[in-house]
Amino acid sequence: MMNGISSEAFVLGCSAIGAGIAMIAGVGPGIGQGIAAGHGAAAVGRNPGAKGNIMSTMLLGQAVAETTGLYGFAVAIILLFANPLVKLL
């Protein structure tokens, strides 16, 4: 016991803070996907004949960018609900 806080409560509190920090990983993909969609729309506006190629490339890039946010979400869920750190105590 440290100042009335058990070690399990301390680990759970730090895990909740870590889960919140992990969710910041969703900001980058959101900004990146918005930029990609804007540039894709501008490219289609300049060359409507290449719409298919532009859209497929843009969507592939957005799918790759989204994995970063999904990894952050998975880490946050693991820290909150299947916390492996509590079992070490």
54: domain CATH number is 1.20.20.10
Is 90 exceeded by the pLDDT of residue 6?
Answer: no
Number of residues written out for the chain:
89
In this prediction, residue 2 has a pLDDT band, given cuts at 50, 70 and 90, of: low
Asked, for residue 2, whether it belongs to a domain, the answer is no
pLDDT for 4 = 81
pLDDT of residue 76: 92
Q: Residue 60: give the domain boundaries.
A: 7-83
Q: Is the pTM of this model over 0.85?
A: no
What does each C-alpha distance from 14 to 7, 26, 28, 38, 64 come to in angstroms? 11, 20, 23, 38, 30
At residue 34, does pLDDT exceed 80? yes
pLDDT in the model for residue 5: 82
Q: Is residue 52 part of a domain?
A: yes
Mean pLDDT of 30-56: 92
Using CA atoms, how far residue 89 sits from 2, 6, 7, 12, 40, in Å, is: 14, 11, 8, 11, 51
